[in-house]
């Protein structure tokens, strides 16, 4: 159990995923280089460190190079690099022998956990942040109060001079399924492993399952269901006519470089929107080519065997979903022919992506000072003069900083920029940051 400071922290990070973990490293390294100390606390709602823990199926591989870890692009000699993790875990030679730049996500999750353990004194798990409120001082709002609820349901409050919000995406539930949120037979892919462990197919009982979506998550769920549960019949249901491959060619990948962030940010709004729209096929509703080929092979072998176990229902719009004792019935319209078809499923998995709105809810008490939550180049939210405390966003600035903002590619550079901004903000304040004074019990 963590004992918190009564005095304000210099920074509270909300969420301790890869973005704020990279920031913790950058703060430590910059603090040592500057000779400045600080008090930091990172709150995370999970009980322990996990990165997409419910989606880490065996076939899941990282889609970017391991060199785009938490630090290497910024400081290749850092002890927190993926290469140093491999060395300390005794797998460096083995990984080299794999001959790949793309570790499985299970291993990358283990790397992140390995780094997080080295910042355990700054982290508090099992804390769900509910709001960030202003605290008025003599010269304006110079402190923020972070409200959270711990794993035992107790309300907690922490004071801080600055907040870095990095809560990631919230599962997107299509309107056709909004009324079925409480039905255990319909769930988002973010809950995949936890929910599948409770299904009859784990006991080899037959099930008919719909996977809704045409992106990477839908493809990975389909492959896992095919490989892990021989008793299931799966329909992939997607609006597009085909599964589209992600464009990860070298020139296109340049848009995820830290330097490209400057280009996007400095463009006029209209040009910036056009740039982002042009490269949507690098990240949204697309699938790794190798996975597409595996899925195509599965359906081809069905044709050879003349046994149609699974279905590929493309160009389908889901008109509605209805629950009954017999299952979840989907009404599907073929967008090419207009034909209507109804099909009943035992389970519906929504691989329908994520939306990024949680920052607006958490910062609602500050919106009078923060306006439309636009951010500067250093990711600090532009605020009215009365708000002296600093608020930063990680992963909510795609519209201003480009497609890489929600991905791993720019983590080291972004962390360095925010850390630099924080130290400058602290130095400009009424006092210098003091030594860390936290205890664990």
Give phi and psi for 183, each to the nearest 5: -90, 125
The whole-angstrom separation of Cα 188 and Cα 186 is: 7
Q: What is the mean pLDDT of each run of 10 residues along the chain (441 residues)?
A: 74 97 98 95 92 72 90 96 98 96 92 97 96 92 96 94 95 95 95 94 97 95 95 97 90 86 89 84 84 96 94 97 96 96 97 93 95 95 95 95 90 97 87 34 27
Residue 433's nearest CA partner among 42, 19, 30 is: 30
What pLDDT is attached to residue 184? Answer: 95
Length of the chain: 441
The CATH number given to 2-169+356-440 is 3.50.50.60
Q: What is the largest CA-CA distance in the chain?
A: 78
DSSP, collapsed to helix, strand or coil, labels residue 131 as strand
Domain 172-245+284-350 has CATH 3.50.50.60: yes
Same fold, 2-169+356-440 and 172-245+284-350: yes
**Whole-number CA gyration radius for the chain:** 23
What pLDDT score does 441 carry?
27
Residue 437: the pLDDT is 32
Q: 122, 107, 91, 92: which is closest to 25 by C-alpha?
A: 122
User: Rounded CA gap, 13 and 19, in Å?
Assistant: 10
Domain positions in the chain: 2-169+356-440, 172-245+284-350
């Amino acid at each position: 159990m963590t004992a918190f400071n009564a005095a304000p922290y210099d920074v509270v990070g909300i969420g301790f995923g890869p973005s704020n973990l990279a920031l913790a490293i950058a703060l430590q390294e910059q603090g040592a280089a500057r000779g400045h100390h600080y008090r930091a606390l990172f709150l995370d709602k999970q009980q322990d460190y996990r990165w997409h823990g419910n989606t880490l199926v065996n076939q899941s591989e990282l889609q970017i190079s391991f060199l785009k870890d938490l630090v290497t692009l910024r400081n290749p000699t850092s002890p927190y690099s993926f290469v140093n993790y491999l060395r300390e875990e005794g797998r460096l030679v083995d990984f080299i022998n794999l001959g790949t730049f793309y570790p499985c996500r299970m291993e990358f999750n283990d790397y992140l956990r390995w780094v997080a353990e080295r910042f355990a004194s700054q982290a508090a798990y099992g804390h769900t942040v509910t709001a960030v409120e202003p605290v008025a001082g003599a010269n304006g709002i110079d402190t923020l109060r972070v409200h959270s609820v711990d794993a035992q349901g107790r309300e907690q409050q922490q004071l801080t001079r600055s907040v870095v919000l990095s809560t990631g995406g919230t599962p997107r539930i299509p309107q056709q399924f909004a009324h079925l949120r409480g039905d255990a037979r319909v769930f988002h892919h973010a809950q995949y492993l936890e929910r599948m462990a409770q299904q009859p197919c784990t006991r080899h009982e037959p099930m008919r399952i719909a996977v809704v979506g045409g992106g990477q998550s839908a493809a990975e769920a389909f492959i896992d269901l095919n490989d892990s549960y021989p008793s299931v019949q799966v329909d992939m249901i997607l609006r597009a006519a085909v599964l589209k491959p992600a464009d990860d060619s070298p020139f296109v990948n340049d848009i995820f470089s830290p330097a490209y962030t400057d280009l996007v940010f400095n463009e006029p709004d209209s040009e910036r929107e056009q740039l982002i729209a042009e490269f949507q096929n690098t990240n949204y509703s697309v699938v790794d080519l190798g996975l597409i080929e595996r899925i195509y092979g599965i359906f081809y072998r069905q044709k050879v065997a003349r046994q149609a176990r699974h279905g590929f229902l493309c160009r389908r719009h889901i008109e509605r979903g209805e629950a009954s004792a017999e299952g979840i019935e989907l009404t599907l319209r073929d967008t090419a022919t207009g034909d209507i078809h109804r099909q009943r499923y035992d389970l519906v998995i929504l691989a329908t992506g994520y939306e990024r709105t949680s920052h607006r809810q958490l910062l609602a008490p500050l919106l009078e000072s923060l306006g439309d939550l636009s951010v500067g180049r250093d990711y600090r939210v532009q605020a009215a003069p009365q708000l002296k405390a600093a608020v930063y966003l990680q992963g909510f600035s795609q519209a201003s900083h480009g497609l890489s903002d929600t991905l791993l590619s720019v983590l080291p550079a972004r962390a360095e920029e925010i850390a630099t901004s924080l130290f400058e903000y602290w130095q400009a304040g009424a006092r210098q940051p003091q030594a860390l004074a936290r205890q664990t019990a």
